Amino acid sequence: RDKVQEFVQKFHKTFPIGLDREGKISIDYGVYGVPETFFIDREGRIAYKNIGEISAMTIRREIEKLL
């Protein structure tokens, strides 16, 4: 948990960060590395997944689709 806090502070992250101590969620969502970005729809399904860096334009586009 301390390392996560360090990471969040160092890189000025303002979005929610979840911990998956047992690795169950990682397996369920198919997480392979960092960074990975997921957009979850209202039904709790993955609507979009991005591996690696993601542009502001892509973030806006995917959010617009979900609204």
Does residue 65 carry a pLDDT above 80? yes
pLDDT-derived band at 63, boundaries 50, 70, 90: very high
Does residue 62 carry a pLDDT above 90? yes
Instruction: Tell me the pTM.
Output: 0.61
Contacts of range 6-15, beta carbons closer than 8 Å, 24 or more positions apart: none
Q: Residue 39: what are its φ and ψ, rounded to 5°?
A: -115, 120
Phi-psi label, residue 43: left if phi above 0, alpha if psi -120 to 50, beta otherwise: alpha
Q: Residue 21: what are its φ and ψ, rounded to 5°?
A: -60, -35
Half-sphere CA count of 7, side-chain side, radius 13 A: 11
pLDDT in tens, 4-18: 888 888 988 887 777
